[in-house]
């Protein structure tokens, strides 16, 4: 049994971690912080977690935190996370940071997308927490940079194509649609119900979304040369889930059967990536919401010669809290899927 803590437990990723960890057979949630609701029981602030009666939220105090737990999930906004994560890490604790603060290897690239980094020396120590690429390093890591939700959906859809050098690296398009919880729980006018409900729009287009830097870094590491990505995110009027559609130009002729087989082989040992066969239906968000699964459907458009890959996942689970627990399982030598085998609610 290990003891774990959550910093920022009342946000969307924090409360999803509480939900998953309460059922985890090897982890005890021993510390949970909040500024606004300090002193209140988790079950009072988040009534859907009615079985979390015994844990009281605390205003963050580093000394109190480190005496309560050995691993911390830091679920704060980027920029807020780096100092608290560095403090916990400096006091000998394992840290899984869900923000973007440790996802970049190069502080100059971090500055371009997010601003100044106050702990640049830690960037080289953090391991990018995507087990499908870095399982071994995650097992030995003490500081994990949990990936962004869009990047997980895009990178998983491209790994087999890039590892085999099958597509041009200057014309990949990722067109993603995300549920509103992807923007966090802090109220913003454009996220209010009357603005989002029954509407659908793109945002941060033409190379401006911050996740592009992270995606290009990781796609470049796979390809060993620079990759330029056209990324268009959209806001869907649903609570959770991301559907990404990738369009790429194959470097040579591809037949659809071999394409699907390539994906199946690459992910055959992965507990949380499922590949849809040609005779299977195309995946929708309801098949993954509440689960740690990413479902991929690779296809080939004979008419235009494009590879098309559909990727679906739950931004709060495989795109955040579930992936963080998968990383925790690897760091502590637990079975990788421990506590993560929930089926989706359907319909
Ligand atoms: N939402 C997603 O789908 C998703 C997916 C992957 C990664 N992420 C990343 O994960 C992190 C958390 O995201 P989220 O969606 O859970 O955000 P959120 O819903 O806005 O929650 C943020 C949490 O941090 C606390 N907080 C806010 N500002 C703070 C500050 N200045 N100092 C200390 N605590 C502060 C808030 O609680 P109190 O005010 O009570 O302290 C709250 O518990 C972000 O960096 C986000 O980019 C989010």
- For the chain, how many residues are written? 347
pLDDT over 90 at 222, yes or no: yes
Q: Has 149 been annotated as catalytic?
A: yes
Q: What is the pLDDT of residue 47?
A: 87
Is the distance from CB of 314 to CB of 240 less than 8 angstroms? Answer: yes
Q: Is the CB of 77 under 6 A from ligand 1?
A: yes
Q: Is the CB of 13 under 6 A from ligand 1?
A: yes
pLDDT over 90 at 80, yes or no: yes
Each residue's pLDDT tens digit, 103-142: 999 999 999 999 999 999 999 999 999 999 999 999 999 9
Percent of the chain exceeding pLDDT 70 equals 100
Give the span between the Cα atoms of 87 and 260, in whole angstroms.
Answer: 45
Q: What is the pLDDT of residue 5?
A: 97
Max Cα separation, the chain? 62
pLDDT over 90 at 3, yes or no: yes
Domains and CATH numbers, the chain: 2-125 (3.40.50.720), 150-315 (3.30.360.10)
Q: What is the pLDDT of residue 221?
A: 97
Each residue's pLDDT tens digit, 133-186: 999 999 999 999 999 999 999 999 999 999 999 999 999 999 999 999 998 898
Q: Is the CB of 131 under 6 A from ligand 1?
A: no
Q: What is the pLDDT of residue 115?
A: 94
Q: What is the pLDDT of residue 32?
A: 97
pLDDT over 80 at 207, yes or no: yes
Give the span between the Cα atoms of 148 and 319, in whole angstroms.
Answer: 6
Q: Give distance in angstroms: CA of 253 to centre of ligand 1.
A: 45
Q: What is the pLDDT of residue 285?
A: 97
Atom of ligand 1 nearest to the CA of 14: 16
Q: Give distance in angstroms: CA of 78 to centre of ligand 1.
A: 8
290 versus 253: which is more confidently predicted? Answer: 290
Q: Is the CB of 320 under 6 A from ligand 1?
A: yes
Atom of ligand 1 nearest to the CA of 182: 3
Q: Is the CB of 187 under 6 A from ligand 1?
A: no
Q: What is the pLDDT of residue 143?
A: 98
Mean of pLDDT values over 98-106: 97
Q: What is the pLDDT of residue 321?
A: 98
Q: Best mutation site among 35, 60, 181, 204 for ligand 1, i.e. most ligand atoms within 8 A of its Cβ? A: 35
Is the distance from CB of 49 to CB of 22 less than 8 angstroms? Answer: yes
Q: What's the number of CA atoms in the CB half-sphere (13 Å) around residue 141? A: 28
Q: What is the pLDDT of residue 38?
A: 93
Catalytic residue among 149, 245, 289, 294: 149
Question: Which of the residue ranges 42-46, 48-52, 69-73, 227-231 would you say has the lowest mean pLDDT?
Answer: 48-52
């Amino acid at each position: 049994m290990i003891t774990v803590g959550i910093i920022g437990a009342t946000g969307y990723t924090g409360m999803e971690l509480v939900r998953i960890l309460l059922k985890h057979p090897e982890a005890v949630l021993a510390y949970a912080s909040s500024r606004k609701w300090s002193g209140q029981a988790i079950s009072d602030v988040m009534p859907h977690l009615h079985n979390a009666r015994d844990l009281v939220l605390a205003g963050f105090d580093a000394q109190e935190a480190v005496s309560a737990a050995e691993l911390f999930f830091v679920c704060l906004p980027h920029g807020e996370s780096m100092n608290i994560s560095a403090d916990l890490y400096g006091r000998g604790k394992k840290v899984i940071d869900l923000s973007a603060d440790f996802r970049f290897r190069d502080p100059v690239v971090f500055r371009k997308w997010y601003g100044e980094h106050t702990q640049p020396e830690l960037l080289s120590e953090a391991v990018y927490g995507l087990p499908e690429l870095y399982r071994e390093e995650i097992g030995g890591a003490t500081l994990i940079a949990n990936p962004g939700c869009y990047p997980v959906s895009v990178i998983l859809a491209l790994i087999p194509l890039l590892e085999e050098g099958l597509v041009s690296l200057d014309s990949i398009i990722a067109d993603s649609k995300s549920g509103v919880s992807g923007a966090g729980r802090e109220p913003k006018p454009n996220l209010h119900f009357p603005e989002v409900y029954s509407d659908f729009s793109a945002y941060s287009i033409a190379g401006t979304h911050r996740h592009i830097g992270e995606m290009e870094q990781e796609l470049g590491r796979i390809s060993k040369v620079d990759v330029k990505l056209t990324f268009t995110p959209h806001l869907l009027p649903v609570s959770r889930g991301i559907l990404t559609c990738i369009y790429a130009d194959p470097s040579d002729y591809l037949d659809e059967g071999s394409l699907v087989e390539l994906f199946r082989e690459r992910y055959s040992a992965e507990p949380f990536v499922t590949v849809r066969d040609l005779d299977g239906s195309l995946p929708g968000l309801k098949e993954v919401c509440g689960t740690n699964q990413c479902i991929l459907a690779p296809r080939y458009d004979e008419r235009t010669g494009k590879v098309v890959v559909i990727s679906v996942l739950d931004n709060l689970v495989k795109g955040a809290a579930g992936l963080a627990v998968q990383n925790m399982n690897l760091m502590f030598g637990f079975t990788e899927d421990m506590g993560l085998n929930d089926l989706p609610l359907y319909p």
